[in-house]
Amino acid sequence: MMILEDRRGSASVLALFMIVCFFAAGALVTDAARHFCIKVAVKHKLNLACRSAAAQLDGEELKNASLVIDEARAAQAFYDVLKTNLLLDDGLMPLPGSILNSGPVRVVYFKVVNPGEAPFTYSYGGYVETVDRAAVTAVISFPVKSGAFARLAGGPEETVMYCHVTAAPELISRPVDKI
């Protein structure tokens, strides 16, 4: 019965266990925060690419106060800005210094919606959106490497994230003397 009565060292074992749990939880939180920060940064850069694409208006239609996006110029502007902001090569592979370093970016969905098509409803996965005016919408996917703790815990080497943005131009009419 000596084993049940000798409790010396039990606090040390408990403290060691708590320290390991604390570091494991910290590593998991750090990994999740890193994934969240990457997704937010990529979403901002995708937003800039969609805004740039939406700004490619047809000049002749604009003279009539009609917002019509030139599809060819919009697609070119979208890819140019996306590649510049995310540091991607022409094949959408990350270049050195890019926040994405696990593999290629895929443009899963890209659509220029002009007034004749509105309202336009589309879905991707479980997401559904209706666009009711001229706009550009895009969905991209990209792999992100998991942290060491996630891999040690049996998680995948990398996960695929998706970002979605819709951007639309707006016509603000003002008298010439107010510009």
User: Using one digit for the tens of pLDDT, what is the confidence trace for 6-17?
Assistant: 566 667 777 888
Cα torsion through 20, 144, 38, 23, rounded to 10: 0
Angle, helix 10-54 to helix 71-86, in steps of 10 degrees? 150
Question: Which residue, among 138, 132, 82, has the nearest Cα to 112 in the 3D structure?
Answer: 138
Alpha-carbon distance of 130 to 153, in angstroms, equals 40
User: Using one digit for the tens of pLDDT, what is the confidence trace for 26-61?
Assistant: 777 778 788 889 999 999 999 999 999 999 988 887
Alpha-carbon distance of 68 to 71, in angstroms, equals 9
| Identity at 91, one-letter amino acid code | G
The model carries a pTM of: 0.80
Residue 114 predicted with pLDDT over 60: yes
Grade residue 146 by pLDDT with cuts at 50, 70 and 90: confident
